[in-house]
Amino acid sequence: MPAEDDTLLRRVRPIARSYFRQETSPAHDWFHVRRVEVNADRLASAYADVDDTVIRLSALLHDIGRPKEDNGDIDDHAEWGAVESNRILREHGCAPERRDAVSHCISAHRYSNDVEPETLEAKIVSDADNLDAIGAVGIARCFAYGGESGSPIHDPSLPVEADLSAAGETQFNHLQKKLLNVSNRMYTDAGHELAAERTEFVQAFADRFEEEVAGRR
Three-class secondary structure assignment of 17-58: HCCCCCCCCHHHCHHHHHHHHHHHHHHHCCCCCCCHHHHHHH
Centroid of chain to Cα 1: 25
pLDDT value at residue 19: 95
Q: Does some domain include residue 125?
A: no
Q: Does some domain include residue 153?
A: yes
How far, in Å, CA of 56 to CA of 7, rounded?
13
pLDDT value at residue 117: 95
What range does the domain containing 15 cover? 1-116
The number of domains in the chain is 2
Tens-place pLDDT, residues 98-131: 999 999 999 999 877 788 999 999 999 999 999 9
How far, in Å, CA of 34 to CA of 56, rounded?
10
Positions in the chain short of pLDDT 70: none
Q: Are 147 and 29 in contact (CB under 8 A)?
A: no
Residues 166 and 69 in one domain: no
Residue 198 is classified by DSSP as: H
Going from the C-alpha of 127 to that of each of 13, 85, 162, 199, 201, the distances in angstroms are: 21, 20, 30, 14, 18
pTM score, whole prediction = 0.94
Tens-place pLDDT, residues 83-93: 999 999 999 99
Q: Does some domain include residue 127?
A: no
Q: Are 176 and 138 in contact (CB under 8 A)?
A: no
Residues 15 and 108 in one domain: yes
Tens-place pLDDT, residues 92-103: 999 999 999 999
